[in-house]
Amino acid sequence: MPYYPETTVVMGLARITRERRLPPNAAPRPSHTLLPGSTAEAVNTVLEGDIFREYRILDVAEELRLRRPSPEQLAEIIMVKEGQRALVGQELARRGSGRRARVLASPAEGQVVLVDGSRIILQLSERTLEIKAGIPGRVEEADSRFVRLTGNGALIQCVWGNGGYVYTSYKFLPEGGFVALSKQDPRISEYRQTVLISPQPVDKGALLVAQQQQIAGVVAPSMASNLREFALQLTFPVLLTEGFGQRRPTALIYRLLQDNMGRQASFNASVPDHWSPDRPEIMIQLPSEGIVPRTPALDQPVRVGAPVRITRAPWDGLVGEVVELPTQPQRLANGLRLPCARVRLPDDRVEWVALANVELLGQPV
Amino acid sequence: MAAEHVNSVLVGDMGSVHTRLVLIDLVEGQYRLIASSRARTTAAPPLGSASIGLEFAARHMSELIGRTLISEDSESLFYMPESSGHGVDAFLATSSAGRPMRAFLVGVTPEISMVSGRRVLGGSYISIVDTLCPDDQRSEEEKINTLLTNQPDLILIVGGTDDGADDILIEQVALVKTALSLIRYGTMPSVLYAGNRALQRRVRELLEPHTEVFVAQNVRPTLRDERLFPAQIELAFAYDAYRSKPASGFQTVGTQSSVGVVPTAQGIISALRYMGELQEQGIGPLFVDVGSANSAIVSTVNKQVQFGIRTDLGVGHNLVSAFEAITLERLRDWLPFDISDDELWDYAQNKQLRPATVPATTEELMIEQAAAREILRLLQDDVRPAWETASDLLPDFQPIIAAGAVLTEAQHPGISALLLLDALQPVGQVDLRLDPHNLVSALGVIAYLKPVITVQAFESGGLVNLGTAFCPLGRVRPSQDAMQIRIRLENGQTFERTVKGGDMWLASMLPGLKAQVTVKLGRGLTINGKRRIKTVVTAGTAGIIFDARGRPFVQPRPRDRAARFMEWQFAMTGRERRPALPVAATGAAAPDQPGEAVPLPSMDDLTAEPLDTMFDLDELEF
């Protein structure tokens, strides 16, 4: 029976399709709808909408001191309709004219959601939402709430992000690490506004240096989980390729980043959510030179010969090759009996690894 | 197909990590578990389709039993009805995967109808985001805001006795109507009405123009009566509708199932209700499930079902929130090695990032098993008030059934038993069972279709018998004789053993062997009120278990804890730490001969292959 493991895409060149959506509670701004076939840069806003929050119930009769107003009277007094936007201070209802006129003004910006008798219910605007393309590419499909884009490039999926996003160039951490970086003048530093790649786990000091040096983002194998909340507050993206604690970097990922140094890349540090299609990832835009790259394969079974990345100790972060897939479960060192693969590690050792602890890299077979 | 013609049923349970399939069929006039299979759940992105995992599991099952299950017809996932030994007559689905449903509870009296409302919601994967009742001092504007800004998926309205006063309840319903009429963007919550029967039509008229309304019988038809089951059934339909909304493939699966996609927990509750009905008054079975994202406890006392579902406790998707609820201090009670807080949190965060992975080292395994023990303790705390017991001891549930890979797939059946004994601390003589295939939930949901299958399949087995555990009540004295045990097999072989206070002993025997067990207890210890018991038991996969740690169980002193823990782990894999006492064997050789002192087990010892069972069928003649 084939086993279908998780897939974390690490590919030097792939055709990447990404969908962007407005959250269900956002009201779209249809004026911003893109046309299929158009191109978008990673930093372009592809969807725009308004998020509304609480409701205000405004009683026209009470505010304008009306006693049992008739529907006709209310129709004359109320100046807004359902669905209409209202600005702060905008007149919603007016009784009389001139200096003696009584006016009900909108207490905040929002949308009139219901006019029911003498009540106006206003839903207040919270913020305007702008959703970026995230990857440079071509618009395949679009409406006011949804855009599908396709682009070509190297793709590295990570395991954790702090919610930030940036599209810029990147550099590896200088020799001497963050200590050396802290001594540089941030105004003239060559690392300013670039994303910093650290092949070693980062600590709080490193993130503080990155903040002080106006670094555009940090990519590292891991950091202590007690820095999670701190990292979530940072204004620049932080991406972890392996996880939390002291984790070994996946050599393949850092080699790929090294090979493409100097190029622009999109660093999308989405906070992972199992039930969301968004994953933290790095996409390095590459010319396809007329070739249509292959789409990452996400539903492949493990096969003999397949490269797999090991995700748990003691070989976490290593990429090996499956050399055997026995049909019977095997007993691991800790006594658990599980479906396993024999995996050739980079140093040529062959070890049993639980199938649950390997992932494919998205490379089509 | 009419239920009376259904003979074979395939039930798929889509958990957060695994999708399990069980096939029940009629064999020689009896419904039995025929086969089970498992695949990874594929409901979450990037695949985002629960039916893919289901199909993988079905193909695997087909390979195992040589029976075609997958339909070539694009309209139907499974080959139905059964024909010429292929396909099945019916398919049913349960699921615990996905985000818990967010529910808002609206009621009339906090101490009556809303308590029942909470119980209805407590039987599924639901988090209650807020409640509303007439006593609420908030303004209308605040009430509407709390109802809508919490973005519930479901509003449960309860209240009023049948044909009782209705004004107050109608006011609440009108408030819900106003709130629903304001929703312009986002999810429109569905409504489940389980209040005053006389208002059902009025409620439909008010709310159906805005949303889907499910109507069930009143949870409190009179002040004294509580009827949760009809509301739970309707809740299952509401859950199915909720699950079908996002693009996760549940809709496809739901259309194949004649009852939609039922919450797994609801299947378990239904099954326990049937199991409770099968026995006389008194205490029935206890079911516990520790999953990746959710955990559940369901019990029956006097044919009444008590349950607690926790959507924040799990050993995968929710390990971080489980650690928060457990506290690291309590977790360490079960860890025989030093580990810093930071390392534990790193572990939990990493496991949450990759919940489908499994522990690869002994230490990692112990962390997850420690979490499972404490999750079971928290579940017990939640449901204990409903048991209405005078003491903190576990009532005499019989049997105790465990589900969830962390409990059912331990490194040795004895360790599965140890986890249950440590966490639940049962008293007396208790049968321990495992449900590795989620059969209990499957049979519970089959009861909706054809209850006779549920009854017969339970009777014909299908659960893994771990064994009987003897757990005396009373305080033990360390190193003093606590249990003098005599085991007599059907062929006359007899074995004797004395277990000291604070120790455990696993009599490793081939599963299925019947043995007469006589236990004479030390001073201050009793089982079922007696100091000497004689009973016949059937050995399980773990054998027969003797837990001489006393009840209530007292954790050893901190300085002794690691050593004692290792001894228990060692003993429950069928190995010995101490030399056995001389025994008066009346049959063949004693299971453990007196010998040299064995050093304290180390972590490395625990990783070794478990020993073979003490008795081998080939050596035994009947």
B140-150 average pLDDT score: 94
pLDDT at B595: 33
Query: Could you say which DSSP state residue B8 is in?
Result: -
> Whole-angstrom Cα distance, residue B512 to residue A116?
73
3-state helix vs strand vs coil in chain A, percent to 5: 15, 40, 45
Last residue of a domain, one of B211, B239, B267: B239
pLDDT at B577: 53
Does residue B475 lie in a domain region? yes
pLDDT-based confidence at B622, cuts 50/70/90?
very low
B346 touches chain A (CB under 8 A): yes
pLDDT(B399) > 80: yes
Give residue-wise pLDDT tens across range A261-296.
989 999 999 999 988 889 999 999 998 778 889 999
- Token readout for B526 is 């009793």
Nearest CA distance, B532 vs chain A (angstrom): 37
pLDDT at B187: 81
Same domain, B439 and B491: yes
Nearest CA distance, B354 vs chain A (angstrom): 8
Does residue B355 lie in a domain region? yes
Last residue of a domain, one of B182, B217, B239: B239
pLDDT-based confidence at B391, cuts 50/70/90?
confident
Residues 217 through 276 of chain B touching chain A, CB cutoff 8 Å: 246, 248
> Whole-angstrom Cα distance, residue B51 to residue B70?
11
Mean pLDDT lowest among A39-43, A316-320, B163-167: B163-167
Nearest CA distance, A159 vs chain B (angstrom): 7
Which residues have CB under 8 Å from B327's CB, separation 6+? none
Residues of B in contact with A314 (CB under 8 A): 360-361
Interchain CB contacts (distance < 8 Å): A and B: 158
Range of the structural domain that residue B175 is part of: 101-239
- Token readout for A226 is 């007690």
Cα dihedral sign for B140, B146, B149, B152?
negative
DSSP strand E in A249-334: where?
264-268, 281-285, 307-310, 319-324, 330-331
Tell me which of B619 and A336 has the higher pLDDT.
Answer: A336
The number of residues making up chain A comes to: 365
Q: What's the pTM? A: 0.90
Cα dihedral sign for B310, B311, B312, B318?
positive
B151 touches chain A (CB under 8 A): yes
B237-241 average pLDDT score: 90
CATH assignment at residue B161: 3.40.50.360
What distances in angstroms separate CA B284 from CA B228, B431, B443, B516, B535, one per listed residue? Answer: 19, 12, 17, 24, 20
First to last CA, chain B: 47
Residue indicated by tokens 């023990």: B373
Q: Do A226 and B345 meet the contact criterion of CB atoms below 8 Å apart? A: yes
Residues of A in contact with B248 (CB under 8 A): 275
Same domain, B225 and B332: no
Mean pLDDT lowest among A286-295, B232-241, B281-290, B510-519: A286-295
pLDDT-based confidence at B576, cuts 50/70/90?
low
Last residue of a domain, one of B208, B239, B270: B239
Closest C-alpha among A246, A203, A163, A244 to residue B349: A244
Does residue B19 lie in a domain region? no
Q: How many CB atoms lie within 10 A of CB A179?
A: 11
> Whole-angstrom Cα distance, residue B408 to residue B419?
10
B276-285 average pLDDT score: 80
Closest C-alpha among B290, B556, B493, B302 to residue B409: B290
Interchain pair B185, A52: CB under 8 A: yes
> Whole-angstrom Cα distance, residue B541 to residue B302?
30
A193-207 average pLDDT score: 96
Does residue B321 lie in a domain region? yes
Nearest CA distance, B63 vs chain A (angstrom): 8
pLDDT(B583) > 70: no
**Percentage of chain B surpassing pLDDT 90?**
73
Same domain, B464 and B538: yes
- Token readout for B202 is 């009025």
Same domain, B409 and B294: yes
- Token readout for A322 is 């499956």
Query: Could you say which DSSP state residue A32 is in?
Result: G
pLDDT(A183) > 50: yes
Task: Report the complex ipTM.
Answer: 0.92
Does residue B265 lie in a domain region? no
Computed over its alpha carbons, how large is the radius of gyration of chain A?
Answer: 27
> Whole-angstrom Cα distance, residue B210 to residue B178?
10
pLDDT(B283) > 80: yes
DSSP string of B190-209? EEEE-S-GGGHHHHHHHHTT
B609 touches chain A (CB under 8 A): yes
Structural domains in chain A, CATH included, are 6-44+133-285 (3.50.30.10), 52-127 (2.40.50), 307-360 (no CATH)
**Averaged pLDDT score across all residues of chain A:** 93
What distances in angstroms separate CA B39 from CA A309, B54, B439, one per listed residue? Answer: 20, 7, 16
Same domain, B368 and B235: no
Same domain, B314 and B451: yes
Q: How many CB atoms lie within 10 A of CB B267?
A: 30
Computed over its alpha carbons, how large is the radius of gyration of chain B?
Answer: 26
DSSP strand E in B28-174: where?
30-40, 90-95, 101-106, 126-132, 154-157
Interchain pair B345, A313: CB under 8 A: no
pLDDT(B502) > 80: yes
What distances in angstroms separate CA A50 from CA A26, A128, A145, A213, B365, one per listed residue? Answer: 5, 4, 11, 34, 47
Amino acid letter at B232?
A: Q
What distances in angstroms separate CA B465 from CA A314, B436, B437, B513, one per listed residue? Answer: 34, 11, 13, 12
Nearest CA distance, A298 vs chain B (angstrom): 7
Q: Are strands A165-172 and A195-197 parallel, antiparallel or unpaired?
A: parallel
pLDDT at A330: 96
> Whole-angstrom Cα distance, residue B138 to residue A363?
57
pLDDT at B462: 85
pLDDT(B3) > 80: no
Give residue-wise pLDDT tens across range A40-74.
999 999 999 989 889 999 999 999 988 889 999 99
Same domain, B285 and B233: no
B47, B59, B357: residue with CB nearest A298: B47
Helix (H) or strand (E) holding B417: helix B413-424
Interchain pair B182, A114: CB under 8 A: yes
pLDDT at B271: 93
**Which one of A220-234, B256-270, B379-393 scores highest in mean pLDDT?**
A220-234
Same domain, B304 and B229: no
Give residue-wise pLDDT tens across range B455-471.
888 888 789 999 999 99
Distance of CA B41 to the CA centre of its chain: 19
Interchain pair B354, A159: CB under 8 A: yes
pLDDT(A334) > 90: yes
DSSP string of B254-269? HHHSTT-EEEHHHHHH
B58-63 average pLDDT score: 93
| Tally of domains in chain B | 2
Nearest CA distance, A190 vs chain B (angstrom): 33
Same domain, B172 and B308: no
Residues of B in contact with A335 (CB under 8 A): 362, 365, 411-412, 415, 573, 606-610
Does residue B601 lie in a domain region? yes
Give residue-wise pLDDT tens across range B319-345.
999 999 999 999 999 999 999 999 999
B436-444 average pLDDT score: 95
DSSP string of B539-575? -BTTEEEEETTTBTT-PPPHHHHHHHHHHHHHHTTT-
Query: Could you say which DSSP state residue B437 is in?
Result: T
pLDDT(B601) > 50: no
What distances in angstroms separate CA B20 from CA B2, B41, B438, one per listed residue? Answer: 25, 9, 7
B348-363 average pLDDT score: 96
Tell me which of A170 and B385 has the higher pLDDT.
Answer: A170
pLDDT-based confidence at B247, cuts 50/70/90?
low
**Which one of A41-50, B181-190, B542-551 scores highest in mean pLDDT?**
B542-551
A123, A299, A334: residue with CB nearest B360: A334
pLDDT(B597) > 70: no
DSSP string of B96-137? --SSPEEEEEE-S-TTTHHHHHHHHHTTSSEEEEEEE-TT--
3-class state of residue B503 by DSSP: coil
Does residue B463 lie in a domain region? yes
Residue indicated by tokens 């702008």: A130
Tell me which of B588 and B90 has the higher pLDDT.
Answer: B90
Same domain, B471 and B553: yes
Q: Which residues pair with A239 in a beta bridge?
A: A161, A219
Which residues have CB under 8 Å from A330's CB, separation 6+? A337, A338, A339, A340, A352
Interchain pair A275, B246: CB under 8 A: yes
Same domain, B444 and B368: yes
Closest C-alpha among B372, B120, B348 to residue B228: B120
Interchain pair B345, A225: CB under 8 A: yes
Q: Do B190 and B227 meet the contact criterion of CB atoms below 8 Å apart? A: no
Closest residue in A to B37 (Cα–Cα): A1
Give residue-wise pLDDT tens across range A108-124.
999 999 998 999 999 99
**Averaged pLDDT score across all residues of chain B:** 89
Does residue B299 lie in a domain region? yes
B52, B178, B360: residue with CB nearest A313: B360
3-class state of residue A348 by DSSP: coil
> Whole-angstrom Cα distance, residue B35 to residue B61?
7
- Token readout for A211 is 């903040």
B40 touches chain A (CB under 8 A): yes
A57, A114, A356: residue with CB nearest B358: A356
CATH assignment at residue B345: 3.30.420.40
> Whole-angstrom Cα distance, residue B153 to residue B155?
7
Closest residue in A to B59 (Cα–Cα): A1
Same domain, B359 and B223: no
> Whole-angstrom Cα distance, residue B253 to residue B237?
14
SS (HEC) of A72-107? HHHHHHECCCCCCEECCCCEEEEECCHHHCEEEECC
Interchain pair A54, B149: CB under 8 A: yes
Residues of A in contact with B348 (CB under 8 A): 225
